[in-house]
Amino acid sequence: MKTIFAFSILSFLTFNALSQDIAEIIRKADEKLRGESSRGQTTMIIERPNWSREISMKSWTLGNDYSLIYITAPAKEKGQVFLKRENEMWNWVPTIERMIKIPPSMMMQSWMGSDFTNDDLVRESSLEKDYNHKLLGEETIEGYNCYKVELIPKPDAPVVWGKILMWVSKKEYHWLRAEYYDEDEKLVNIEILSDIKKMDDREMPTRLEMIPADKDGHKTTLIFDEIKFNVAQDESFFSQQNMRRVR
């Protein structure tokens, strides 16, 4: 009995330590793409069965709560600005000189006609804190030995997904793939990250593809052209007043 009891305690402690380690792996993978703050330039390519279009933008971030995106091309959308402050979002449209607040009812609508939603920009949830993590095994992706992790939302967590599967490289903490499921465990989106390059002070995926599971020929690709991490940034930069001035 003592042996069985000791084994049970050891198993519990090992499982608990492993769960904490998995959460730390998820945190490191997420932080590698974000940093404490950032400034960068990104190209977004939207592909549909009969057409494609390209949008260029500048972006600034501070933690998970503040971000500002300035559209630089094409000419039709140039000058539009999107601001996120905590869980609220605004859009400045210079052609009509109007500031539009994005209501909660529009959070799941497409952002700029892409396969990303407004909620993807505002994301309140934390992959580390708002989900329970379970290691499902290991798989190799693009030559990287990866952890395959299941994320199930905690009760009352501010999340939109019923389940997420993530693949993170064991040595480098590269986030290389994710699958997003709804509350009925139906696959909604597949996210593929690739093209590992040195960006500022780190190596990271510089190409992100978001592919809807049930829409053939639909895909949105983000290419990180340039990015600086942990730049000096103040909350006051992320204001409605600055939306009209930023370039």
Domain boundaries, the chain: 21-243
Are 30 and 133 in contact by the 8 Å Cβ rule? The answer is no
Structure confidence at residue 118 (pLDDT): 86
Tokens for 211, please give them: 């592919």
Paired residues of 179 in beta bridges: 165, 190
Structure confidence at residue 1 (pLDDT): 53
State the architecture of 21-243 in CATH terms: Clam (2.50)
Q: How far apart are CA 68 and CA 235, in angstroms?
A: 11
pLDDT in tens, 121-132: 767 668 888 999
Reported pTM: 0.87
Are 150 and 163 in contact by the 8 Å Cβ rule? The answer is yes
Which residue has better confidence, 76 or 126?
A: 76
Element (H, E) at 47: strand 37-48
pLDDT band at 87 (very low <50, low <70, confident <90, very high): confident
